[in-house]
Amino acid sequence: MAEDEEKSRLYKLKPLVDRMPAVKQPEGHVHFRRKIIWTILILVVYLSMTNILIYGLDPAQTMDLFEQFRAIFAGESGSIVHLGIMPIVNASIIMQLFQGADIINLDMKDPDDKAVYQNTQKFLVIVMILVQAIPQVYGFLVPGQGFIETLDGLVAGQGLMLARMIIVIQLSIGCYLLFLMDEVVSKWGIGSGISLFIVAGVSQGLFTGIFNWAQDPAGRSPAPVGAIPRAVWTIQHSSAQELAGGGFENLLLQPPNALITLPTTILIFLMVAYVQSSRVELPLAHGRARGARGRYPLKLIYASVIPVILVSALLANINLFSMLFYTHPTFQNFPIFGEAAWLGVFQPGSTEPIAGAAWYISNVHGLGDWLLPLISDRYAGMLSPEGVEWTYSKAQIIARVIGHFLFMTVFSILFSIFWVRTTNMDAESVAEQIQDSGMQIPGFRRDPRVLRKVLERYIPAITVFSGFFIGALAASANMIGTVGDAGGVSLFLAISILTELYEQMGKEQMMEMHPMLRDFFGNQ
């Protein structure tokens, strides 16, 4: 333990953060069946919360700032979980950056320092909830006129202010409940609550994107919006001449849920599943029990899917604030950034940039967003916002693809490095875990320093490669396109999370049969 004068300044927050609501750590081992029950229960509660609408909101005037990131951040537009996991992820980003830059001076191997880190992150979640909720309520989540008039009758002239405060309170309660539910799954269930919520949202989007028989609510076509029903409807209601004259082309390429996205979704699914199973395995032997051997797996995606979630959160925040600076009256007078076209240009009622730096790093939505306009000028109009005359040169389209790809890969590498350091997955921490379990690498002296040197041959390199690979794969999935509203990053996350959940369940069952393995995996 560090001396008092060397302690982090975050210890000054300890009296406050220690009193914050938290989920109690289980005493002893939690049975596998009980973990399954808690996981399913939390999933049911989460899905129920997505159907609880914000009281007093005017849906007709409400704009969803994170519409294009909705599946990633596990929220439902207009519900009490409208914010999703965004504040939780933002708090994690800030804490990781501070820890990676040695600003907060905490040793994650020290139990007290680690507890301060985790509790401070809880406090920061509340701060980020307010940072996310207040600007949205005062700009884009508009209270209903009837609700305002009712409150005016209670407090004359203060109806609008009270209505906004009530909506902020609902958003705050919903998001903090998600945070506590994530803790329940982490401590009493299997995997992570955040991951569970993401999978639920993406799975729903994929299912409706493939099988939805309802008509397009935007009125672009009388055909169903689901990929398969749309194909069946188009073939039944089109003549051979209509199909040959552009019907097949529209069926394959025209959004929503173009038919070409169905095989690409399957291809991405198989690719991610294969990569998730790829690993480097280090042979281990027990130092005292002869014949007891095992392997320590270093997965190709070593930092898990967390870096991609963090990169997506960063991109969503850039999109949010560039939109606020360009469109919101309060932010338009801000020096340098206020209404700056170089930062981002947004059309009224739209949440996606059409120009500026924000456009060059924004998500690419399938082949129609870049490849088809590059092949033929016939498709150039697909990129133009509806009802707006806006054209892009081929050089601009190529620059956007490169910009999005570089943004995803570079920041994914950085977040992978930070994540490995802050979760005790670095070479030194893993060496101590192996040493404490009584295992060693055959042919090497049983010394944590020796183990660390061996692991340093693999872990730093595989961490950087892991960050690059998942960033590149997620960006490529965005550019190829997927069925449903999930998007490439969401699909990558869902597949990776499901694969990890399957492996975690296998590990839990193995520890049920062999209790001695709990010490090796760090479980009670």
Least confident range of 186-190, 236-240, 272-276, 436-440: 436-440
Domain positions in the chain are 1-11+30-212
Task: Identify the H or E element spanning 195.
Answer: helix 193-211
Give the separation between CA 453 and CA 456, rounded to whole angstroms.
5
Judged on CB neighbours under 10 Å (0-12, 13-18, 19+), 80 is buried
Give pLDDT, residue 147: 92
Give pLDDT, residue 3: 45
Least confident range of 313-317, 337-341, 384-388, 445-449: 384-388
Give pLDDT, residue 171: 95
Q: State the Rg of the chain over Cα.
A: 25
| Angle subtended at Cα 192 by Cα 191 and Cα 198, rounded to the nearest 5 degrees | 115
Give pLDDT, residue 473: 85
Confidence of residue 54 (pLDDT cuts 50, 70, 90): very high
pTM over 0.85: no
Q: Which of 16, 89, 42 is nearest to 187 (CA)?
A: 42
Instruction: Give CA separation, 226 vs 190, 210, 211, 380, in Å.
Output: 32, 5, 5, 25
Least confident range of 13-17, 328-332, 506-510: 506-510
Q: Which CATH class is domain 1-11+30-212?
A: mainly alpha
Least confident range of 222-226, 254-258, 261-265, 281-285: 254-258
Instruction: Give CA separation, 180 vs 32, 88, 173, 176, in Å.
Output: 21, 11, 11, 6
Query: Widest CA span of the chain, in angstroms?
Result: 82
Assign residue 238 a region: left if phi > 0, alpha if psi is -120 to 50, beta otherwise? Answer: beta
Q: Is the pLDDT at 385 greater than 60, yes or no?
A: no
Give the separation between CA 356 and CA 403, rounded to whole angstroms.
12
Confidence of residue 292 (pLDDT cuts 50, 70, 90): low
pLDDT tens for 335-372 read: 888 889 999 999 887 788 989 999 999 988 888 788 88
Beta bridge partners of 379: none
Average pLDDT over residues 415-426: 85
